[in-house]
Amino acid sequence: MQHDQYKYISRCDGLELDVLEIQPLSQPKGIVQFLHGMAENKERYIETMEFFARNGYITIIHDHRGHGKSIRDLADQGYFYDDTGKFILYDAHDITRMIKAKYPGLAIYLFGHSMGALIGQNYLKNYDNEVQKLILSGMPGNNPLCSAAIGLVTILEKIKGSYHRSKLIQNLSVGTYDKKFKGENKNCWLSANPENVNLYNADINCGFNFTLNGFKNLFLLMKNAYSDTDWVKTNLNLPILYLAGENDPVIMTKEDWRRAQLFLNKIGYTYVKGKMYHHMRHEILHEARKDVVMQDILSFIEK
């Protein structure tokens, strides 16, 4: 298989987005576009991408703005160059447009994990006719305090500036997740696989604290994803698959995770399915039984 890395210039503000594409050796069946999560990078998806490439799919992922190599300066990790929560969505859609121009006629399957799942649901809200299927992994639950969090971040920005990294906001957002798994390593909430957690903790491009600007974008993505207004709704039969580990604190509770799926049913989407994996946490693509997860995604795509 062939790995290609290149830049895509964001139409929003000219930011250089770093893109990775992996080509199969055979004639491609379709394309899987990946949207990675918060405070990580595209390289963490290479193993999964290679799995799909071996099964005949072109796979494409970009570093979100403020992540990986899609930054103007190392100090900009967790800064989105936007305060609307929209640019990161427009970037994802522009990558789809680029894919369609490059590979006309091939089906596109969109996979989003964690923050990428929030982007994916915002994508669904605006562009549900652009992809053939949607997979949302580790979808954050609909936190009722989201609007209050946006207000708090806005106040702190006026006092500290948008580049400030607030320990308070960090602790309120993801800082409590480890408490569910006492006695384990830092960021153990990510995975029951200690090797994965150790690699994450050792990676300077992972686990960084968001700026206030980054958190504002994150909370706006969540608020917009669960708002029942302004949905375009042109493809209500789009197949949608929710995936999660049963011990994932990001989904909040199993009931919240099911309510997230029922929310899309209420919006009008008719094909929304969910699968939960026993003894897995947030990063189901990095757990010991990740092969089962990848095979399930492949089966959903090819069904």
Q: What number is the average pLDDT over the span 157-177?
A: 96
CATH topology of domain 2-302: Rossmann fold (3.40.50)
pLDDT band at 214 (very low <50, low <70, confident <90, very high): very high
| Radius of gyration from C-alpha coordinates of the chain | 18
Other beta carbons within 10 Å of 222: 23
For 253-273, the pLDDT digits (tens) are 999 999 999 999 999 999 999
Give the HSE-up count for residue 289: Cα atoms under 13 Å, Cβ half-sphere.
Answer: 12
Q: Residue 31 is which amino acid?
A: I
Side chain identity at residue 16, one-letter code: E
Question: Coil, helix or strand for 275?
Answer: strand
pLDDT, tens digit (0-9, with 9 covering 90-100), for 135-166: 999 999 999 999 999 999 999 999 999 999 99
Per-residue pLDDT of 26-75, as tens digits, reads: 999 999 999 999 999 999 999 999 999 999 999 999 999 999 999 999 99
The pLDDT of residue 44: 98
Question: What 3-state class would DSSP assign to 244?
Answer: strand
Residues paired with residue 6 on neighbouring β-strands, in sequence order: 19
Q: Please state, in angstroms and rounded to a whole number, the distance separating the CA atoms of residues 126 and 93.
A: 9
Is the pTM here over 0.75, yes or no? Answer: yes
| Share of residues in the chain with pLDDT > 90 (%) | 97
Strands across the sheet containing 30-35: 2-9, 16-23, 57-62, 30-35, 108-113, 133-137, 240-245, 272-277
249 confidence band (pLDDT: 50, 70, 90): very high
Rounded to 5°, the CA angle 44-45-46 comes to 100
Instruction: Work out the average pLDDT over 225-229.
Output: 97
The full set of domain ranges for the chain reads 2-302
Lowest average pLDDT, out of 85-94, 95-104, 175-184, 195-204, goes to 175-184
- In this prediction, residues 167-178 reach a mean pLDDT of 94
Q: Is the pLDDT of residue 182 over 90?
A: no
Q: How far apart are CA 273 and CA 256, in angstroms?
A: 15
What is the rounded distance in angstroms from the CA atom of residue 128 to the CA atom of residue 65? 22
Do residues 95 and 120 lie in contact, with contact meaning Cβ atoms separated by under 8 Å? no
Provide the pLDDT confidence category of residue 183 given band limits of 50, 70 and 90. Answer: confident
- Average of pLDDT values for 77-104? 98
